[in-house]
Amino acid sequence: MEKIYTNDKKDKSFFQQIFKTQLSKKLSVAMVLVSFFSFMMMGINGVSYAAVPEIPTSGLGDSFTTGPAGERIFGSGVGANNITILGYTTKENGYPIYCLERNVNYKSDTVMQKKEKITDQGLLYIMANVYPNKSFTDDNGKVFPEQVQTWLSQATIWRYLYETNADGNQGNDASVDIEAIKNVTSISWESDMTTKCTMAGCDGQTSGKTFYEARIAPLVANARKSNVTTNGTITLSITNEEINITSDEKYYQTSKVMIGTTNGSNLVDGSKKVEIVSAPKGTILVDQNGNEIKDTSNISEFYVKIPVSAVTEDNKVVKLSASGTYRGYDGYYYKAEGAQTVSSVYTTDIPTTTGLEIPINYTPDTPDTGMNLAQSIYFIGLVVLLCGVGIIYANVKPKAQQQ
């Protein structure tokens, strides 16, 4: 049959005409861009990388309702058969929360009440260094999918609580085998069982490393250190307690006082300061050249200068204070009858302070006029010798006269 071709636009449908116009080209470009950005919002194999809702600086509030349990995430390896961990969030806002009692069941649609403040610095440290506050990465530095983050974060928290003998976390008869966690080398999840992430990545490569030895154990070890803190500390120390007098003999001056900080990057700009709490009237802080320091926010060392005339028996101590504010982490326990205790940390301003007392004990330098032991023996021997010579002379002379 002969084919008939026509160029008459009237014979074409409305949509056919549209796709022949410039508008068609613009629409095509727009569709490509939308498709591209939609793809960027999805991870490999459909893993979502949407931003996790950030917990406000006020925390989780006085109460919240627990949301439904998330999808099941499986950890496997030699001696570890699909150790299952689920993700949990608040129902109202989708804020991530973590379970703090491995041996107690999680309850959804349950109102959790704010209870005592978390004072366990190790627990705060763990939660501040897991998802969503910090992200776990593979051996190539690539951030793991959200499901892997959730599994590793909850496993790390439970491991810390187990090692520190926290209530509700002892024994190994719960649904999660706390010891078998050490053997997990692969993590997968319910919505995509084809993706199995290892420390080598999530693209099918295998790795001999366990997640425990590579990521969990180091965090737990740091959290168990005696001086661990999620925030920061300020220290004051003095080189020695020697007090010198200035050349004009009007002032006493201490040795160098040093200010130390940890986690300096978390220190709120301009918040650090040093104050004289109590001291003789006229006491000031000076630099190494003797110049008075009025702005102490950026100093790392100084000296204390005290008027001699102001020192009495009642004020022979200088008391100093150093303080600062850290952008750190805080958290509370949330509890309900028959439900597992949960929590999540949030960033907030944490003030910290420390003190130092310096006694004013000035002892002028005097030359050492004392004799050492050898000199003393020599001197005594000399005296004895002279005395002996004198006695002999006194006895010999009369005899000589008698002859």
31-47 pLDDT, tens digit per residue, is: 434 343 443 444 434 34
72-86, 204-218, 237-251, 377-391: range with lowest mean pLDDT: 377-391
Rounded mean pLDDT of 342-352?
Answer: 92
pLDDT band at 390 (very low <50, low <70, confident <90, very high): low
pLDDT exceeds 50 at position 13: no
pLDDT at 186: 96
What pLDDT is stored for residue 401 in this prediction? 53
Asked if pLDDT for residue 319 goes beyond 50, the answer is yes
The pLDDT value given to residue 22: 52
Q: Which of 248, 241, 315 is nearest to 279 (CA)?
A: 315
pLDDT for res 381: 66
- Mapped onto helix, strand or coil, the DSSP state of residue 146 is helix
Q: Which residues make beta-bridge pairs with 43? A: none
For range 304-312, the mean pLDDT: 95
Highest mean pLDDT among 22-26, 144-148, 294-298: 144-148
Give the residue with greater pLDDT, 36 vs 365. 365
pTM of model > 0.75: no
Mean pLDDT over 182-196 rounds to 95
Average confidence score pLDDT of the chain: 83
pLDDT at position 155: 97
Nearest partner of 97 among 166, 154, 155, judged by Cα: 154
CA 200/CA 145 separation, integer angstroms: 13
Check whether the bond before 56 is cis (ω within 30° of 0): no
Q: How far is CA 120 from the centre of its chain?
A: 13
Report residue 75 as tokens.
Answer: 């950890």
Q: Is the pLDDT of residue 301 over 50?
A: yes
- How far, in Å, CA of 303 to CA of 253, rounded? 7
**Is residue 387 scored above 80 in pLDDT?**
no
What are all long-range contacts of 80-87, with beta carbons under 8 Å and residues at least 24 apart? 80/177, 80/180, 80/181, 80/182, 80/183, 80/184, 81/180, 83/176, 83/177, 83/180, 83/181, 83/184, 84/175, 84/176, 85/150, 85/151, 85/154, 85/155, 85/176, 87/147, 87/150, 87/154
Q: Is residue 185 a contact partner of residue 210, using CB atoms and an 8 Å limit?
A: yes
Lowest-pLDDT range, 121-135, 162-176, 361-375? 361-375
Interhelix angle 121-128/146-163, rounded to 10 degrees, is 170
